[in-house]
Amino acid sequence: MANRVAIVGSGQTHHRTRRLDVNGVELIYEATQRALEDTGLTMKDIDGVIIGNMDHFEGINYVDCWSIDGSGGWGKPTLKLTTGGTTGSTLAIAGYHMVASGLFDRLLVIGWEKNSESDTTAAITTAFDPVWDRSVFAGAISGLAVEASVYMHTYGATERDAARVTVRDRRHACLNPFAHLRKEVTLEEVLSSPPLADPLKLLDMCPRTDGACAVIFASEGVAERICPRPAWILGTANRHLYTYLGDADYVGLKSLRHASRELYEKVGIREPLKEIDVMELYLPYSFAGLSWIEELGLCPPGEGPRLLWDGVTDLGGELPINPSGGVISCNPIGATGLIRCAEAALQVMGKAGERQVPDVHVALSSGFGGCWWSDLVMVGSTKPA
Amino acid sequence: MMDRIAIIGVGQTRQERNKVHETFADMVFEAVQQALEHARIGIREIDNVVTASNDFWDGRTISSMAVNDACGSYDKNISTVEGDGTFAAFYGMTRILSGAYDTTLVVAHCKGSESDAKHITNAMFDPVYLRPLGLDNISTAAMQANRYMTRYGITEEQCALVSVKNHENAYRNPNAHLPMRLTVEDVLRSRLLADPIKLLDASPVSDGACALILARESAAARYTDRPVWVRGVGYAADPYHLGDRDLADCDALVAAAKRAYGMAGIADPAEEIDLVELYDAFSYQELLWTEGLGLCGRGEGGKLAASGATRTDGSIPVNPSGGLLSAHTVTVAGLVRIAEAVLQIRGEADQRQVPAVRTAVAHGVNGPCGQSHCVWVLGA
Amino acid sequence: MAYDWLQDTEPMVYESRIQVPYSWSVGDTGSRFLTEIRDHKRILGKRCEACESVYVPPRKMCPRCFVDTGPWVEVGPSGTLVAFTRVRYASELHPGHVPPTYGIIRLDGSTTGLVHLLGEVEPNALRPEMRLEPVFREPRTGHILDIAYFRPTHR
Amino acid sequence: MTQTSEPERLVMHSGDAQQPFRYAVGRYGSRFFMALRDEKRLLGIRCPRCRKVYVPPRQVCGPCFERMEELVEVASTGTLVAYTILRFSFLDPETGKQKPVPYGYGFIQLDGSDNAFQHFIEIRDEARIHIGARMRAVFRDTRRGTLGDIRHFEVLA
């Protein structure tokens, strides 16, 4: 049997539009120091570092090497993972495997981003095939707009339904001191915000954010000594399905459907809506909050809007989603997936402050990116069998 | 102690100057198919995949997206290490040790022919303090060579011997890019790039892909009667700013080797290791890395090479494949070192076979002037 | 379809580029370093109070001890040559499009080396431990090349 | 470098720095472009296992992990399966300049293929553009063997 692994602490920067006071290395240092403070550990206790972001977002090649001053990786095993938007969640999954391997006891996992330092859409566009996709594609916004158009066409969902997702996440963000956009918006404000790509408008989309997140993963036996109520990793699963955009199946998010079914099976979840207490999902835009929760099996296809309007996913509802405010309120891309995992762990540990959901035993976090890819990490209060 | 992990199959494309007919995906598909055949395993029995690539070299953010179809990861768990393949293989190994998977496919690709190495390697350097100086991999390596040779009295002739040996070895490796019969004089007289590095002290830019398949012991037995065991792995990083370290040292390599040897129970590497495949991006690096790997004392890398010990017929053959000097595929190069070590241990290295290899070391590097090193000890 | 279409296909190449503009934050620590050079031709390092290392360029944190660095300290401006190379090939990335000479220079009072350009010296005259001094550019803009290069100290 | 005030915080700009690339199209893609350039024909490739036809042609069927080699001609007409109209301006990473907007962008399932082909869509009459619309490729007169040899797709009259 593999070693069990828990998240024992984390640190986030206060995420902002632009952090001129620090360079990228110093931003990483800030999050890392906060994670160490959170756990009472020093860098000497850390036996390895994993870090990730997207090269062309900051224009830095070999970020793992460049960031050593701030990551604490001097003299330590240091590794970089990069999978685009899923980078943060990919890092969390790696944190799990590397500690579960028995080769590490206290592993520092860092995701970061300085979106302010480049043109995000230009940078994202370089993620796609230079010969076939790049000249017509317009980054995440165009891809997501296409998905939204198909969802509306297939199920009759409306822009107003989607706006309800933004309203929820932005309301939740007011409770999270680390979130970037901490101001409520109304349905009307979302609907009347400037158009980006039909049917998406400015307030349907995530912002561009500077920020970093560091999470410490520890092995069984070590974790309990660091933290009275660690967040145990119950399971991970992911799917990175496509090479070409045109191969994707725009009705729904197949990668999330497949990954979640694998994860539920592993962990023994039969009714996710009832058995999972809170979700921190990488929903980069409003429509994802309708359609992707269907893929997670919370309701039948096309019924996402009903769950939203019924308040099921609000704080206080049956299954709160994104009590942190989610990605629509804060998106330092290379950190975003890891923030979801860190927030899910905070909920399990009971350390989520004003955004705490009562009695969380099982929490799910997700990452999204690449060519419609999905990563999942589930954490819980009880050691897995 | 960790469970036993085996490498059950390896595959590599030819490493060439310009694979203009092939996309990243084409190269990856070729390497993966070879590895599957070598391991006598089907793609459906591979339960997870780790790819390795570099977004700058590929000219593509999320460079792994190009090879999702070709690496056979459809509907499987997959991840991507950005950096040398030895590091990706390490992560691939932990995914088995974690208990989550039985068989990991690791595949790396790179095509240096598609970009301009000066631009790509300049981007390794800090944009505020270093990039404006116009630094690249060659000019920074030259400073390391200068410092190393000055501190220990290493000679240009000793460096040249490495180039002569490795290019000669490449004649026996059908996958190598640049086999050449050279004399020390040829190397010394070749065009000066940046003192003291000359053209024939430097590696070419090569295209290629390499794949390997890792399996836990119980799974390995189903596929092969010739598993190559992972006896130890270690990796570590030095600080970033070149002036923060003494470039004549390679502390990160020493630390990485110490971990790997510790895990493998190796006390006297020069005595216990039968063969080394290391990351010789420049001729002086083979000398420096043999020191870091503990094959000789500090400052004795030049003497070790001059003694003939590192030749294929010597006491500790280094890079019988021809090394990076004969084929430098960047992120692929370290994975090729592992693949070559595996072939040697299995006795399948054909003309470049070194007799009776039971324990071999493979080595990979990330970052400028060997900032981050990964060391593998493999055994029969 | 016949198999040989693969063989008689002309291999096409798509010539392109990546041109994403970046605006890197220098940060408060780096900004102080560069503005001191710009305004006062003074080179500053930062000292770690735990290990006594003095870093140039200055770091907000000591990468070895992983704590905030302590006081600013003025270093140099003269220093000692640790390692060097003369580049012999052309690159449009070289400042002024001239193949540069590089050095790692340990400025007096610093424990680390600064990578920079060397000038006013024949490559054959370069020696380890050689004494060097900075030549400042006019006008200065708050850029690492406000130090134009280091040259041998003439006594 | 530019600066902001209080305290002075410098920013380092990359200016017009760029990295050149020579992306290999590969045999499969090159074959597609040869047919497009020389004959205004569109080619797909069929998987021997699942029989799906993919455009553009590539060597590997991802789901089957099968090597493909059976080229098939597909139509230059098809059905719009998804689309959007870009209304915000952004930097084109291939030029470093703002991309002109608005422009239409969509996925067209070409007749005879099983996946979608991504391209610009002509948007002069937005009211006629909808999911399910029948589309056709509009070819350029001068073709060089790139995706731009198709100007865009337009709604069939």
Chain C contact for B288 (CB, 8 A cutoff): no
Question: Does C88 sit within 8 Å of B191, measured CB to CB?
Answer: yes
Residue C10 is nearest to which of D34, D70, D94, comparing CB atoms? Answer: D34
Q: Mark yes or no for CB contact A117/C61 under 8 Å.
A: no
> At A300, is the pLDDT very low, low, confident or very high (cuts 50, 70, 90)?
very high
Of all residues in chain A, what percent carry a pLDDT higher than 70? 99
pLDDT given for residue C155 in this prediction: 60
**pLDDT, mean of residues A152-181:** 98
CB–CB contacts below 8 A, C to D: 107
Indicate if A222 and A313 belong to the same structural domain: no
CA distance D108 to D119: 8
Q: What is the pLDDT of residue C1?
A: 46
What average pLDDT does this structure show over A47-71? 96
pLDDT recorded at residue B1: 47
Query: What confidence score (pLDDT) does residue A251 get?
Result: 87
Place of tokens 């092995």: A219
Residue with more model confidence, C123 or B52: B52
Q: For residues C106 and B327, what is the distance between their CA atoms, to the nearest angstrom?
A: 36
Mutate to test the interface with C, among B17, B56, B143, B190 (most CBs of C within 10 A): B143
Is B189 an interface residue toward C (CB < 8 Å)? no
Q: What architecture is domain B5-116+205-223?
A: 3-Layer(aba) Sandwich (3.40)
Minimal C-alpha gap between A20 and chain C (Å): 5
What residue ranges do the domains of chain D occupy?
Answer: 25-155
Interface predicted TM-score of the whole assembly (ipTM), two decimals: 0.97
Mean predicted confidence (pLDDT) in D108-120: 97
Residue with tokens 């920079």: C116
C-chain CB neighbours of B152 within 8 Å are none
For chain D, the three-class secondary structure string (H helix, E strand, C coil) is CEEECCCCEEEEECCCCCEEEEEECHHHHHHHHHHHHHHCCEEEEECCCCCCEECCCCCEECCCCEECCEEEEECCEEEEEEEEEECCCCEECCCCEECCCCEEEEEEEECCCCCCEEEEECCCCHHHCCCCCEEEEEECCCCCCCHHHEEEEEECC
Q: How many separate domains does chain A show?
A: 2
- Tens digit of each residue's pLDDT (9 = 90 or more) over A118-146: 998 999 999 999 999 999 988 899 999 99
Q: Answer for the pair B228, B119: CB distance below 8 angstroms, yes or no.
A: no
Using pLDDT thresholds of 50, 70 and 90, give the confidence band for residue C3. Answer: low
Range of the domain at A70: 5-119+209-226
Tell me: do A40 and A15 sit in the same domain.
yes
CA dist B306 and B158 (Å) reads 6
Name the nearest CA neighbour of D52 among A132, A246, A252, B46: A246
Determine the Cα–Cα distance for residues B118 and B115; give it in Å rounded to an integer: 9
Q: How many C-beta atoms surround the C-beta of residue D13 within 10 A?
A: 14
CA distance D155 to D80: 9
User: What average pLDDT does the segment A187-193 reach?
Assistant: 98
Structure tokens at B4: 């036993």
Rounded average pLDDT per 10-residue block, chain B, 380 residues? 87 97 97 98 98 97 96 97 98 97 98 96 97 98 98 98 98 98 98 98 98 96 95 98 97 98 98 98 98 98 98 98 98 98 98 98 97 98
Identity of the residue in B94, B126, B372 whose CB atom sits nearest the CB atom of A103? B94
Could you tell me the CA-to-CA distances from A375 to A57, A205, A237, A365, B155 in Å, in that order?
21, 20, 6, 8, 52
Q: Which of C21, C31, C143 sits opposite D8 (nearest CB)?
A: C31
What CATH number did the domain enclosing A113 receive?
3.40.47.10
Neighbours of A155 (CB within 10 A): 19
What are the distances in angstroms from CA A203 to CA A166, A200, A277, A287, A305? 7, 8, 27, 11, 18
Does A385 fall in a domain?
no
Give the list of residues 6+ apart from residue C122 with CB closer than 8 angstroms, or none. Answer: none
Same domain, A222 and A177: no
Domain boundaries, chain C: 25-152
A33/A37 Cα distance (integer angstroms): 6
Interface test with B, best of C62, C64, C75, C91 (most B CBs within 10 A): C91
Return the residue in C12, C28, C29, C61 with the most chain A beta carbons within 10 A, the one to mutate for interface testing.
C61
Name the residue facing C85 among B21, B59, B194 (closest C-beta).
B194
Q: Which tens digit of pLDDT belongs to each residue from C101-110?
A: 999 999 999 9
Q: Give the per-residue pLDDT at A385.
A: 85
Residues A62 and A163 in one domain: no
Q: Which of D23, D29, D59 sits opposite B29 (nearest CB)?
A: D59
pLDDT averaged over chain A? Answer: 97
pLDDT at C7 over 90: no
Chain C's closest residue to D7, CA to CA, is C28
Q: Is pLDDT above 50 for C119?
A: yes
Task: Enumerate the residues of chain B whose CB falls inside 8 A of the CB of residue D63.
Answer: 74-75
Return phi, psi of residue C113, to 5°.
Answer: -105, 145
Same domain, A295 and A348: yes
User: A42: phi > 0 → left, psi -120 to 50 → alpha, else beta; which?
Assistant: beta
**Mutate which of C13, C24, C29 to test chain A, going by most A C-beta atoms within 10 A?**
C24
Contacting subunits of B (3+ beta carbon pairs below 8 A) = A, C, D
pLDDT tens for residues B310-353?
A: 999 999 999 999 999 999 999 999 999 999 999 999 999 999 99
Contact A147/D82 with Cβ under 8 angstroms? yes
pLDDT at position C6 is 86
Q: Within a domain: residue A182? A: yes
Q: What is the pLDDT of residue A138?
A: 86
Same domain, A43 and A18: yes
**For residue D60, which of D73, D47, D78, D75 has the smallest C-alpha distance?**
D47
Distance CA B124, CA A68 (A): 13
How many other CB atoms are found less than 10 A from the CB of residue A194? 9
Question: Is the model's pTM score more than 0.80?
Answer: yes
Instruction: Give mean pLDDT, residues A101-120.
Output: 96
| Greatest distance between any 2 Cα atoms in chain A | 56
Residues from chain B contacting residue C144 (CB–CB below 8 Å): 128-130, 132-133
H-type helices in chain A, by residue range?
Answer: 24-39, 55-58, 63-66, 68-71, 87-100, 120-125, 139-155, 159-173, 187-191, 223-226, 254-267, 272-275, 288-295, 304-309, 333-349
Q: Chain A closest CA to B226's CA: distance in Å?
A: 24
Q: Which of C26, C30, C84 sits opposite B143 (nearest CB)?
A: C84
Separation of alpha carbons A354 and A357, rounded Å: 9
HEC string for A121-138: HHHHHCCCCCCCCCCCCC
Q: How far apart are CA C97 and CA B362, in angstroms?
A: 39
